[in-house]
Amino acid sequence: FTNRGSKETIREIHINNNKDVGPICHRPERFPEIERDWSGFRWEKKKDKEKKQRLEQQINTNQNEEEETKKGYIDKRTPAQIAFDKMQEKRQMERILNKAEKTHKRRVEDFNRHLDTLTEHYDIPKVSWTK
């Protein structure tokens, strides 16, 4: 290859010479025979393009999600899941109300009464390092 002027690109040189020199590339390193000042050019790599496209897609999807959340929460649960969650919440509220009814003193008395009904087999043995 020889330098054919500043207006011709690598692609044009490749087409004009019609030689089997390999694929047309984005980077000038593949054609070291061409004497040209490449310092003023910014070469965009394929990876950079892919990253830019991925970022744009993420931004677009984020904007779409934000629009959906602005519209309102879309419940994607099945009717069975909704009924299950309602029952769980109802049972939890009943447990909280039952615990709130009893005072600490009443709870201790009930626990002691329960321990009295157990057989001695479940008694906690006395442990002592001295006698």
- Considering the domain architecture, whether residues 7 and 35 belong to the same structural domain is answered as yes
- 31 domain-assigned: yes
**Is the alpha carbon torsion for 108, 114, 119, 121 positive or negative?**
negative
Q: Per-residue pLDDT tens, the chain, 131 aa: give them.
A: 445 555 555 555 555 555 544 444 455 555 555 555 555 555 556 777 888 888 888 888 888 777 766 667 778 999 999 999 999 999 999 999 988 998 999 989 998 898 888 877 766 777 777 76
- Considering the domain architecture, whether residues 31 and 15 belong to the same structural domain is answered as yes
- 126 domain-assigned: no
The one-letter amino acid code at 114 reads: H
The predicted structure's pLDDT at residue 8 = 52
- Considering the domain architecture, whether residues 16 and 39 belong to the same structural domain is answered as yes
Number of domains in the chain: 3
- Considering the domain architecture, whether residues 68 and 83 belong to the same structural domain is answered as no
Report the first-to-last Cα separation within the chain, whole angstroms: 105
| Distance (Å, whole) CA 89 – CA 83 | 10
- Considering the domain architecture, whether residues 69 and 93 belong to the same structural domain is answered as no
- 112 domain-assigned: yes
The predicted structure's pLDDT at residue 115 = 85
| Distance (Å, whole) CA 61 – CA 52 | 14
- Considering the domain architecture, whether residues 62 and 52 belong to the same structural domain is answered as yes
The predicted structure's pLDDT at residue 60 = 86
- 17 domain-assigned: yes
| Distance (Å, whole) CA 9 – CA 44 | 16
- Considering the domain architecture, whether residues 52 and 39 belong to the same structural domain is answered as no
- Residue pair 43/26 in contact (Cβ under 8 Å)? The answer is yes
